[in-house]
Amino acid sequence: MGTIFLMEDCVLRSTQDTLFVGPLPQDLIRRYVDLLPPELRVERLLSQRFLRCRIDGSVDFIFGCGRALFQDCEIRSVFDGRTGGFAAAPAHALEQKEGFLFRNCAFTREEAVDDGSIFLARPWRDCGLAVFEDCSYEAHIRPEGFDPWLDSGRDKTARFIEIPLRPGRVSWAKAQMES
């Protein structure tokens, strides 16, 4: 059994990288071996639950490779002077069967955030996993929903699921998990 972290009825506010859902991806653990204390270099299963929280940000403001449930949360895009952004940047390994689960969340915005300027997610690593189940979206969410992270090819391996899948989403978004 891994560590379980629970936050209820909280507000987390920043712009970029508001909430890191650990642990670090393996390549970063190796890269920062001389900088990280031993307790941060050990891979361990982390489960995080966010219930009725509000998480504010602009770019990759929910990121990492831990397992996290966001239940009945408000995921709020804030204006920081940039013309676009990304709510989530998952970095899960292929063997991870659970990643970020946004269940019954409301994706909202500050008034200054433009229509069609925010992606729901982009894969920080090759097999990033994010599920959006029964969520509501304001007009700031781009119709295609998801971004491939430049020319990284991660759209070939990203696991982005939306239930129900909205019309106009990218072709590589799925309506359910594959077995």
Residue whose C-alpha is closest to residue 134's, from 166, 91, 110 = 166
Residue 44 within a domain: yes
Residue 175 covered by a domain: no
Please state the φ and ψ torsions of residue 122, each to the nearest 5 degrees. -145, 145
Task: Confirm whether 171 is domain-assigned.
Answer: no
Q: How many residues does the chain have?
A: 179
Report yes or no on 134 lying in a domain: yes
Higher pLDDT, 72 or 4: 72
Strand, helix or coil for residue 163: strand
Contact residues for 163 (Cβ-Cβ < 8 A; gap 6+): 131, 132, 133, 134, 175, 176
Place 166 in a pLDDT band, splitting at 50, 70 and 90.
very high
- CA-CA distance, 94 to 126, in Å (whole number)? 8
Q: What pLDDT shows up at residue 33?
A: 82
Provide the whole-model pTM.
0.93
Residue 178 placed within a domain:
no
- Helix or strand run (H / E) with residue 26: helix 26-31
- What DSSP string describes 109-160? E-TTSPTT-EEEE--SSTT-EEEEES-EE-TTB-TT-B---TTSSGGGT-EE
Strand partners for 6: 49
Residue 168 falls within a domain, yes or no? no
Q: What is the pLDDT of residue 151?
A: 86
* Domain that residue 118 falls in: 3-163
Residue 70 lies in a domain: yes
Above 80 in pLDDT, residue 40?
Answer: no
The pLDDT score that the predictor gives to residue 37 is 81
The per-residue pLDDT for range 92-101, each reduced to its tens digit, is 999 999 999 9
Burial of 175 (0-12, 13-18, 19+ CB in 10 A): exposed
Report the chain's mean pLDDT, rounded to a whole number: 92
Any domain includes 56: yes
Using alpha carbons, select from 157, 163, 100, 164 the residue that is nearest to residue 129.
Answer: 100
Q: How many domains does the chain have?
A: 1
Domain CATH for 98: 2.160.20.10
